[in-house]
Amino acid sequence: MIIRSSNQMPRITLLKRFPVPRNLGVNPQSRIERGRKWPAPSGAKRIKIFEIYRYDPDSGRNPYIDSFEVDLNDSGPMVLDALIWIKNKVDPTLTFRRSCREGVCGSCAMNIDGTNWLACTRYISDTATLASVYPLVNMRIVKDLIVDLKHVYAQYEMIEPWLQSKTPASGKERLQSTDERRKLDGYYECILCFCCTSGCPSHWWNGDRFLGPAALLQAWRWLTDSRDEAKGERLDNLEDPFRLYRCHTILNCTRTCPKGLNPGKAIAEIKREMIARRS
């Protein structure tokens, strides 16, 4: 019942999805249809079924759900291994991003059994009997599990994620004390997988104007950097009913972060900074 870290699996199985109609507010071209079944190659002994979201932009079809039989004796232990196994052995057209396969690049972020996580750090044994794999929620789909990150990257760019200083460069490093450096812990580790922004209900409804937890965590990472000298301008840029204050502290972001970071706390720190500079 009590979750201590974000990598703990949800234990309450009573309500696996919100009781809303499947096509509530979904535009016609995004409605999901039934796809086909892909049987495992003959000789497979330990079979698990993965239901995977597919979309082929060239077919003119709507997105659909294919179900794949995966031979667990032949595939690696992670969900990403299963996807690679499917691509190698069953359907080479299955499309997804992956790179590091160890949770440092953030490429394989997707929705597994209803929550966002990295496919490379989620054990197959931790997934439901009928595992479901969707792309990151609430994003435009390029193909299959690949989402268009253009919008969230633009939001990241909006917070100007680089060191801004007015004092001229001294020709040496800009030094920090150990305590000053420690303030970046828990924020600099963000890998920009956008699991949090994709899982934020506030971003679902107001994603065009609300920056979302990933960008705001980065905003705090620069606000709290002792070497940065653009604090006032950064806060001015965020002082907006939507950009910052559409965060209603739902905290789905902190629950879902595959790196165990705390975007919710970062946003609260920004809000407190806004109040502190007024008084």
Which of 38, 40, 63, 94 binds other proteins (CB under 8 A)? It is 63
Q: Does 135 bind other proteins (CB under 8 A)?
A: yes
| Residue among 84 and 247 whose Cβ is closer to other proteins | 247
Specify the long-range contacts of residues 20-28, CB closer than 8 Å, at least 24 apart. Answer: 28/62
8 A C-beta contact, residue 17 and residue 114: yes
Dihedral, 58, 116, 263, 189 alpha carbons, nearest 10: -80
Q: Distance between CA 118 and CA 49 in Å, rounded?
A: 19
Site for other proteins in 68-97 (CB under 8 A): none
Shortest CB 40 distance to other proteins, Å = 25
| Residue among 46 and 150 whose Cβ is closer to other proteins | 150
Q: Distance between CA 261 and CA 152 in Å, rounded?
A: 18
Q: Which stretch binds other proteins (CB under 8 A): 25-33, 35-43, 99-107, 172-180?
A: 25-33
Is residue 150 exposed (0-12), middle (13-18) or buried (19+ Cβ within 10 Å)?
Answer: exposed
- Alpha carbon distances (Å) from 262 to 204, 228, 244, 249: 19, 21, 16, 12
Site for other proteins in 111-130 (CB under 8 A): 111, 113-115
Q: Distance between CA 212 and CA 107 in Å, rounded?
A: 18
Q: Does 250 bind other proteins (CB under 8 A)?
A: yes
**What count of other Cβ atoms lies within 10 Å of the Cβ of residue 142?**
16
| Residue among 121 and 138 whose Cβ is closer to other proteins | 138
Shortest CB 111 distance to other proteins, Å = 7
Q: Does 146 bind other proteins (CB under 8 A)?
A: no
Q: Does 133 bind other proteins (CB under 8 A)?
A: no
Which of 136, 152, 159, 215 binds other proteins (CB under 8 A)? It is 136
| Residue among 41 and 57 whose Cβ is closer to other proteins | 57
Q: Which residues bind other proteins (CB under 8 A)?
A: 1-6, 10, 15-18, 20-24, 26-27, 29-30, 32, 53, 55, 57, 62-63, 111, 113-115, 132, 134-142, 147-148, 150, 199, 201, 204, 248-252, 254-255, 262, 264-265, 268-269, 271-272
